[in-house]
Structure 1
Amino acid sequence: MSKTVPAPPSGLRALLPDLSPWRASRDFRRLWMSGLVTNFGSFLTFVAVPVQMKELTGSAAAVGAIGAVELVPLVVFGLYGGALADAWDKRRLIVWTELGMGLLSAALLVNALLPDPAVWPLYVIAALSSALVSVQRPALDSLLPRIVAHEHLPAAASLNALRWQVGGIAGPALAGVVVAYAGLGWAYAVDLATFAVSLALVVGLASSPASHEAAKPSLRSIAEGARYAWNRKELLGTYAIDLAAMFLAMPLAVLPFLADDLDAEWSLGLMYAAIPAGALLVSLTSGWTSRVHRHGRMVAVAAVGWGLAVAAAGIVGDVWLVLLFLALGGCCDMVSGIFRSAMWNQTIPDELRGRLAGIELLSYSVGPQLGQVRAGGMAAWAGVRTSVWSGGLLCAAGVGLLALCLPKLMTYDARTDEHAVRLRERRAAAAEPV
């Protein structure tokens, strides 16, 4: 007797997020809650650190340099962290790195409470935090395909993004108030408390040992992952487009100065929250993403939209229009992120997933870090608003050029791509009873 296939949702239900991963996987629920809690606190620090640097130095270049000191550990530990994620128990890596990041948050709190807070600890802690995040993220990303069914991976990407956005909106919005009225110490103290809660959640994850096919961590294994990525031009395209978009158009480093330029210091928290607010709107209406199959095209189109929205935010002179265009940019960035994640998770084999997650980490993290340096340097040279609008226009042009040079990305179809079909069949075979 044949099974009855449920009809796809229609109307408003077709837009609502797909909760299948949440319902089906206990470990996904734990990771989701852990990420929600820790992201909320981390976004408080994300706002507090540049504000503290601005107060201590008064320099846009000094704020942008935070991204520079994070760059080297991000590159080194991102690649090696990917190899560790393939070769070690992923749960253990996640637990120990979460503990380390909590200790760094405590160090920020101690420095902020000193009678004369120092500048150098902000740079040192930023570098160490970058190293720990670079080790943890490949483990988190490569764990996802193990705890979520293959067909639920796009939905899981949307739900994970939703988690990030809730923290990204509430954290910066609250940070602006906390920093202004309670002080930097309270922002760091709340971040420390969220790490304690998150650690309690990830300790309860099931162990996730290395695949028996995974290579031990070494330069050779890292090179093997890099060769695989290079030979997959559609994956290479997602990395290149995200790097270009973030390097050329990420405005976060200069937002404290943009708020001053618009004579709207009160809007800083809202500016930081606007991009994740736009992304949240996409996540809350992300049901449509499961019905899109040409993921590469969506990545490119959305990245162009991100650049144009940021350019508009730099051109307009009204603070409310700035907030609107930053939110539109967040919408576009979220669409691009959902389809990048779906391509990665649905086509990369388990034994390479950690190393490729390390490369992915570089693609979506190195760009913003370099983008902070670019934005801060350009703002110091040509002015804050010029830094923002010129970067946005360069992003749109650069992504358009990359799309023309990457035909495999633009023709990618999740239904017929050989790598997606092979991985789908492998997971289906593994799920069959013996």
Structure 2
Amino acid sequence: MSDFVRRHMVDTRPLSSADYRRLWMGQGVSFIGFQLTSTAVSKQIYDITGSSFWVGMLGPANLIPLVVFGLWGGAIADAVDRRRLLIVGALIAWTATLVLLIQTALGSRSVVLLLVTVAVHATGFAITGPTRGAIIPRLLPVELVPAANTLNFLVASLGSVIGPLLAGVVLARGGYGTAYLADALLFGAGFYAAVRLPRLEPVGDVVRPGLRSVVDGLRYISGNRVVMMSFVVDIIAMAFALPRALFPETAAERFGGSSIAFGWLTASIAIGSVLGGLLSGWVGRVRRQGMALTFTIAVWGLSVAAAGLARELWLMVALLAVGGAADLVSAVWRQTILQTHAPDEMRGRMQGVFTVVVAGGPRLGDLRAGITAAWFGATAAWVGGGLACAVAVLVAGAAVPAFWRYRPTTRETGDK
């Protein structure tokens, strides 16, 4: 039994580090609040407009700050104390949550104001995301980084389950203001964890943050086809297949506008990620990671397409959960490649690009889903996107032999 647990269940050894443990727990608690706000904003905009197009506009409202400040924040993380930068980014996001709370308390129905506030919130996330990713290899030995990444994605996925399900109850009983207030209170856990971190001054060659340092990071990525393709396949997965912007319309059309059904749909992908994370002991033993990434993302696309055809809520949730498990596994492999093979003086910039792709890709998916739903209807946008993802990722993966044949080594400095 113990051998089964060791080989197949999640590796918890990184939690023996007090600094990492606080960071992990703080991230988990505050991410529940983040998901509360994200779910509430999505439904609030749909209730105001009755349009999936405007829900889809949350995509660019999040994407633009993520691209600009994700890259810039990653460059800064390579040049300053990462603990201090993490605190600054967290405070920016918290301020945006308070503004959402104030808007709702005043009875504002301005969609533009909501989108602007969401953009400010995304700015804070764009700074904290790459900074937190760059901190982890400084807190743990390299052999524990993959396990730490799995734990991070697991707790984020757990928050993505609890947050939307809690939002469904909160929105039904307390309204949008209650959801934003809960987020503001839960923020304290992540802030406490950041404050308790040790000073994390930059090591190695420090480059002044700016356009040149960002370009250096992008040049590093462009010179490594394996790293580049790990980003490409993730963009395909999110931009083509993510059906998140269609959840409000689907809940309205198939389930009578039930907030509970909306909460389950929003949580479904993360439910699969949690289950995948709990059974992730095998992930670190996979050697053909390029091929495995390609197939897991194809599984994601096909699961999404099948969910779009389902009519029962439980079946939609189950199929989306399968996709969520595949998404978590691929995310762990991609993140580990960046953290273990990039030198410390480049990690902030690598995590900046990772944040842009991981957080920005879903925003492209929101925009794609909203526009195609307006043209062809929600079902066609949902199912067609999933099928297009599966086809595109298989073609892209097979077209780059260096990625398709990729096996991890102790340290990567160029194409393998």
Structure 2 equivalent of residue 402 of structure 1: 396
Structure 2 equivalent of residue 132 of structure 1: 124
Q: Which runs of 4+ in 1 moved over 6 A?
A: none
Distance 1:416 1:111, change over 3 A: closer
The Cα shift of 1:259 comes to 1.3
Provide the rounded CA distance (Å) in 2 between the counterparts of 1:307 and 1:179.
30
Structure 1 equivalent of residue 347 of structure 2: 353
Return 8-17 or 373-382, whichever deviates more.
8-17
Structure 2 equivalent of residue 4 of structure 1: none
Structure 1 equivalent of residue 147 of structure 2: 155
Listed as ranges, the matches of 1:22-41 within 5 Å are 22-23=15-16, 25-41=17-33
Provide the rounded CA distance (Å) in 2 between the counterparts of 1:391 and 1:397.
10
Q: Which structure has the larger Rg over C-alpha atoms?
A: 1
The yes-or-no answer on 1:92 pairing with 2:84 is yes
Match of 1:370 among 339, 364, 376: 364
Listed as ranges, the matches of 1:167-182 within 5 Å are 167-182=159-174
- Residues 254-278 of structure 1, C-alpha deviation per residue, up to 9 Å, x if partnerless? 1011112213523110111110000
Listed as ranges, the matches of 1:307-322 within 5 Å are 307-322=301-316
Provide the rounded CA distance (Å) in 2 between the counterparts of 1:49 and 1:371.
17
The Cα shift of 1:9 comes to 6.0
- Residues 180-226 of structure 1, C-alpha deviation per residue, up to 9 Å, x if partnerless? 11111110000000112321221010110112312111211111111
Match of 1:414 among 393, 408, 413: 408
Distance 1:416 1:356, change over 3 A: closer
Provide the rounded CA distance (Å) in 1 between the counterparts of 2:119 and 2:182.
21
Distance 1:94 1:391, change over 3 A: same
- SS for the counterpart of 1:209 is coil
| Native 8 Å contact 1:298 1:335 kept in 2 | no
- SS for the counterpart of 1:212 is coil
| Native 8 Å contact 1:214 1:352 kept in 2 | no
Return 265-274 or 43-52, whichever deviates more.
265-274
Match of 1:262 among 250, 254, 258: 254
Provide the rounded CA distance (Å) in 2 between the counterparts of 1:14 and 1:350.
30
Matched to 2:275, the amino acid is L
Listed as ranges, the matches of 1:49-128 within 5 Å are 49-128=41-120
| Native 8 Å contact 2:290 2:397 kept in 1 | no
Return 114-123 or 225-234, whichever deviates more.
114-123
The Cα shift of 1:416 comes to 6.2
Question: Between the two proteins, what is the percent identity of the paired residues?
Answer: 36
Number of residue pairs matched by the alignment: 414
The yes-or-no answer on 1:15 pairing with 2:5 is no
Matched to 1:48, the amino acid is A
The yes-or-no answer on 1:390 pairing with 2:372 is no
The Cα shift of 1:123 comes to 0.7
Provide the rounded CA distance (Å) in 2 between the counterparts of 1:87 and 1:416.
26
Provide the rounded CA distance (Å) in 2 between the counterparts of 1:298 and 1:404.
12
Structure 2 equivalent of residue 431 of structure 1: none
**Structure 1, unaligned stretches of length 5 or more?**
1-7, 421-434
- Residues 57-80 of structure 1, C-alpha deviation per residue, up to 9 Å, x if partnerless? 111111101111222211111111
Match of 2:240 among 248, 259, 263: 248
Provide the rounded CA distance (Å) in 2 between the counterparts of 1:169 and 1:71.
23
Provide the rounded CA distance (Å) in 1 between the counterparts of 2:122 and 2:190.
18
Provide the rounded CA distance (Å) in 1 between the counterparts of 2:94 and 2:108.
23
**Structure 2, unaligned stretches of length 5 or more?**
none
| Native 8 Å contact 2:19 2:139 kept in 1 | yes
The yes-or-no answer on 1:276 pairing with 2:270 is yes
Distance 1:145 1:257, change over 3 A: same
Matched to 2:240, the amino acid is L
- Residues 77-102 of structure 1, C-alpha deviation per residue, up to 9 Å, x if partnerless? 11111110101111001011111211
| Native 8 Å contact 2:36 2:179 kept in 1 | yes
Provide the rounded CA distance (Å) in 1 between the counterparts of 2:210 and 2:39.
36
- SS for the counterpart of 1:154 is helix
The Cα shift of 1:411 comes to 1.7
CA RMSD between the two structures: 1.8
TM-score (norm 2): 0.96
- Residues 84-122 of structure 1, C-alpha deviation per residue, up to 9 Å, x if partnerless? 010111100101111121111111111111134432221
Structure 2 equivalent of residue 204 of structure 1: 196
Structure 2 equivalent of residue 430 of structure 1: none
Matched to 1:224, the amino acid is D
Structure 2 equivalent of residue 306 of structure 1: 300
Provide the rounded CA distance (Å) in 1 between the counterparts of 2:109 and 2:126.
27
